Amino acid sequence: MGTGKRGLIATAVAVVCAVTVLAAPGTAFANPTPSPSPSAGSAFAPAKDLEAVRKKLDKLYRAAARATDEYNAADEKADKQSTRVVELAKKIVKGQEKLRKLKARAGAAAAAQYRGGGLPPEAHLVLSDDPQDFLDGAGRVREGHHATKGLLGELARTQEDLEQYAKDASAQLKKLEAGRKAKAAAQKKIEKQIAQAEKVESALQKEEQERLAELEKEAANKAQTAWLDSGILDEINGKASEQGKKAVKYATAQIGKPYQWGAEGPRAYDCSGLTSQAWKSAGRGIPRTSQEQWKQLRHIDVQDMRPGDLVIYFGDASHVAMYIGDGAIVHAPRPGRTITIAGAGSMPILGVVRPDAGTDTN
């Protein structure tokens, strides 16, 4: 076995080994009833201090959400690259077998010539005394030339293909390694932000934690009230498509399950894991991350949205929820929270996208 063959087989084996290593609608949200403030003389942190804590936690969890999108994007790319590398490895192995057979055919042709005294077919033809043999032999010589030329050409093409497969596999492996590093870096960011947030929350007494949760609700209710007061709900009357109904049914069935970054179910989800899996269950694949959902799916005016559409939040598209009608969304909020129904206007809306754009509604 030649050194070229050994090298390509080694490449195929290395490629495979590397891959193994790397590889229910809610009702409209009404104006909230303000929660009572802590009584005077409370031994706990004053409301203004807890509001500062709330804003700090919001900042930390939003940073974690951005890092989660980075992680999910890197993970999605790594999956595709792994698949591509495996495909190339299979092509290398298959091409190597084809090359072996072609070389065997070439070797058989060479052996036949050796058995003929080392003379080429043309020489035997010239030495023939029989005119009929000459004529018959001339045809065979032409056929032989064509066959030999075709065999050598196929050998060369197969060798070139194998070399290209090896180069492509090497390039994909480099991308895969870069993706692995990107995932690891994003994971560190996520864990750092969540750890800092948990440290802040753990420093609070139980009553302060409860008051902090109330402040979070108040902030969300205030934003939702402002959104509803704009009269937007009077304009939103779109009906869900059949696929949209299925997506909403799936998403609302997950209510109560915990948020977990990078998760796509069935026990836990992050925000885009919930929306992508809901639409997958409805028969429509969509991008994995909220940012790619915003980039790739068709944009819809807020007043035209219908149940099943995805509402993208914040200027960096770091959060996504599913509109379920009546001014409400279902979403996976953040670490430490469960999938829940909230007001569609409870967070700053960047825009709305429609996974099943072009389908009829009922």
Active site residues: 271, 319, 331
Distance between CA 7 and CA 192 in Å, rounded? Answer: 44
Contact 241, 279 (CB under 8 A): no
Report which of 241, 246, 244, 332 is spatially closest to residue 281, judged by C-alpha positions.
Answer: 246
Count helices and strands (H / E) in the chain.
9, 6
Distance CA 348, CA 299 (A): 16
In 302-355, which ranges are E strands?
A: 310-313, 319-325, 328-331, 340-343, 349-354
Locate tokens 């754009």: which residue?
Answer: 357
Residue 258, beta-bridge partner list: 338
User: What sign results for the dihedral spanned by CA atoms 179, 180, 183, 184?
Assistant: negative
Closest CA to 345 of 315, 307, 316, 302: 302
Strand order in the sheet with 340-343: 298-300, 349-354, 310-313, 319-325, 328-331, 340-343
DSSP 302: G
């065979």: which residue's tokens? 140
Cis link prior to 266 (omega < 30° from 0)? yes
Helix (H) or strand (E) holding 112: helix 47-115
Coil vs helix vs strand at 129: coil
Q: Is the CB of residue 240 less than 8 Å from the CB of residue 316? A: no
